[in-house]
Structure 1
Amino acid sequence: MKVKIRTREFHFSMPLPVSMIGFAVKLIPAGAFDKMAVNTPEPYRCLVTKETVTMVLEQCLDVLKENRGLEAVHVEARDGTFISIRL
């Protein structure tokens, strides 16, 4: 998996083995999930937790490995910010 983030001031690219996705999610602070939950519609807000995201990723690990090279996230903002996550 390759994660790329580009802004005007910042360029970040990180290769991440698919088998380490669960570990990477565990490094994200709980406060980040709280901030994401604020912008999530009410029926789904309870699902935005570190535990839920880790469980879903672990269950989908074999599917992620089968679809190597697939670009799962591609976002380009008007201000030039670019985010890409490729499996």
Structure 2
Amino acid sequence: MSWGIEDPKKRKDILDLMDIGIKKNMANPNHVNEVEKSEIGCWMEQIYGIMRCDICDLSTECPVREEQEWQAWLKENNMVVEKKKEQ
């Protein structure tokens, strides 16, 4: 997230995120160890309770972003994925 310090808005967003992390860890020092896995796979949602793709430094490996890109590609190429119905 070091790239964010040059942009004042992103710097504020990162500082706000750090504030959330400090508050969660002050309330429960074991928060990181006890947190439940995010249903959508977003580490930021899992740890901080919010999802901010615009300031995420792991966005290249993000399952949420990958799914959004996949869905956009399918739509752009007029592809339809049909799920098999279970009998």
Normalised by the length of structure 1, the TM-score is: 0.31
Say which structure is richer in strand: 1
Greater radius of gyration (CA): 2
| TM-score, reference length from structure 2 | 0.31
Instruction: Identify which of structures 1 and 2 has the higher relative contact order when contacts are C-alpha pairs closer than 8 Å and 6+ apart.
Output: 1
